Amino acid sequence: MYSVAVLGATGIVGQRFVSLLAEHPYFELTAVAASERSAGKRYAEAVNWCIEGEIPENVRDMVVRNITPSEVRADIVFSALPSEVAKKVEPEFAEAGAVVASNASAYRMEGDVPLLIPEVNPEHLDMIEVQRERRGWDGAIITNPNCSTIIGVLTLKPLMDAFGVEEVVVSTMQALSGAGYSGVPGMSILDNLLPYIPKEEEKIETETRKILGTFNGSEVEFAEVRVSASCTRVPVLEGHAEAVFVRTSREAEPGEVAEVMRRFRAKPQELKLPTAPEHPLIVREEHNRPQPRFDRNAGGGMSVTVGRVRRDGVMGVKYFCLGHNTIRGAAGASVLNAELMHRLGVL
Ligand SMILES: NC(=O)c1ccc[n+]([C@@H]2O[C@H](COP(=O)([O-])OP(=O)(O)OC[C@H]3O[C@@H](n4cnc5c(N)ncnc54)[C@H](OP(=O)(O)O)[C@@H]3O)[C@@H](O)[C@H]2O)c1
C-alpha cells in the first residue's frame, strides 16, 4: 500500500478524490490538506460536501492540514489546488520526494512533465526520467489534462489510430462543477448560458496536440492536428458535453467510426486497473443520447459516451460526446494515472 494525501481536499475535485481514495486497493488515504481557512478543523467541519454519498467514515475526523511537505507526508500527493497555488507548492512536494499527481494546469505544458491519459499516451510516462534528471527531484510531477480535453481526446484516439486525424472543431457545453464550488454564481447561470470560459479554448487546442504527440526520448513532438474550440458554461451540475467535427486523413464512414470507438481498449483495460472502465467509450444509437443526467455516471464516471455519429458535409464526420468532468475529467483521471504508474513500476 502507498500512503496518499489530497491537497485541496475540501474543493469539488478534492471531494471526488476523497470519495475515490477512501477505500482503494493500492492507496491508503492518510492526510487531507487545504487552505489556512480549513487547516486545523475536522474534515467534516471544514468541507461543504456537495457530491452524492456521505463523507467517508474514515475521513470525517481527519484534521485538515496546511499545504506544506513538512505537514503532509505521503508517497503520492493528489493535487486539486488552484493553479497559482499549485505552481508554488507542487515542486516543493516533488523535491521532498513525493509523486505529485496534479489536476492543475500549472505544469501541464512543461516539456518534461507528462500530460497523461492512460488509454492514450502511457508511453509519455518515460518523461519522468528526464524530469528527475533535469530537476534533481526524487519525486515527480505528472498531470492530467483539462476536463474537456480528456473527454474529447479519448474519442479522437481510436480515430487517429484507424484513419488519421487532421482537423478538429469542437464546441463544448460544460457543467457548473467544472468552475469549482464557488466558481459561477447562481444568478449568472440559471435560465442562461455563458459563452466564455477563461483560458479553456486555448487549453483544449494546445493540450490535445501534446497528448497525441510523440515522446522522442527528450521532448514531445506535438501531433500535426489543427484544433479549434469554442467553450460554453451551461446550467448542468456535472457532465461536460461536446459537439465534435473531425476531418480524418483517410475517409471514414460513420459506421466505421462508431465501430473503432466501440472496440477501443488500451493499457488500463489490459492491466485491469481498479479505476479503469471496461469500455472507455460507449457508443449509443439513440438520437437523444448522450445526456448529462443519464450518461455522466457510465463506467463509474470513467467512460465517455458518444452518440449521433454521422456524416458531416464540411469536415467528414461529426458526433456528440459526454463525460463526467470531476471523475474522468479530474479526480478519476489522476487516480488512474497513479494506478498506471504503480503497475508499470514508475512509482
Ligand atoms: N472542477 C473540475 O471539473 C476540474 C476539472 C479539471 C481540473 N480542475 C482543476 O482542479 C483544481 C481544483 O478545482 P476545484 O474545482 O476543485 O476548485 P475549488 O472547488 O475552488 O477548490 C479549491 C481547493 O483548493 C484549496 N485552496 C484554495 N486556495 C488555496 C490556497 N491559497 N492555499 C491552499 N489551498 C487553497 C481550497 O481550500 P479551502 O476550502 O480551504 O478554501 C479547496 O480545497 C483547479 O486547478 C482546477 O482548474 C478542475
Q: What is the CATH number of the domain that holds 177?
A: 3.30.360.10
- Render 225-262 in DSSP notation, one character per residue: -EEEEEEEE-S-SS-EEEEEEEEESS---HHHHHHHHH
Residue 147: its pLDDT value, please? 98
52 lies in the same domain as 157 = no
Residue 181: its pLDDT value, please? 87
6-16 residue pLDDT tens: 999 999 999 99
Whether 108 shows a pLDDT value over 90: the answer reads yes
Is 240 annotated as catalytic? Answer: yes
| CA of 81 relative to ligand 1 center, distance in Å | 4
11 lies in the same domain as 55 = yes
| CA of 50 relative to ligand 1 center, distance in Å | 14
255 lies in the same domain as 301 = yes
Question: Is-above-0.95 flag for pTM?
Answer: yes
72 lies in the same domain as 139 = yes
Residue 298: its pLDDT value, please? 98
Please pick, among 240, 279, 324, 342, the residue that the annotation labels catalytic.
240
Q: Are 233 and 171 in contact (CB under 8 A)?
A: no
| Residue 96 DSSP class | T
Residue 116: its pLDDT value, please? 98
Whether 251 shows a pLDDT value over 90: the answer reads yes
69 lies in the same domain as 9 = yes
Q: Are strands 27-33 and 2-7 parallel, antiparallel or unpaired?
A: parallel
Q: Grade residue 182 by pLDDT with cuts at 50, 70 and 90.
A: confident
125 lies in the same domain as 265 = no
Indicate the number of domains in the chain. 2
* CB distance 143 to ligand 1 below 6 Å: no
117 lies in the same domain as 87 = yes
Domain coverage including residue 30: 2-146+331-343
119-149 residue pLDDT tens: 999 999 999 999 999 999 999 999 999 999 9
* CB distance 325 to ligand 1 below 6 Å: yes
pLDDT mean across residues, the chain: 97
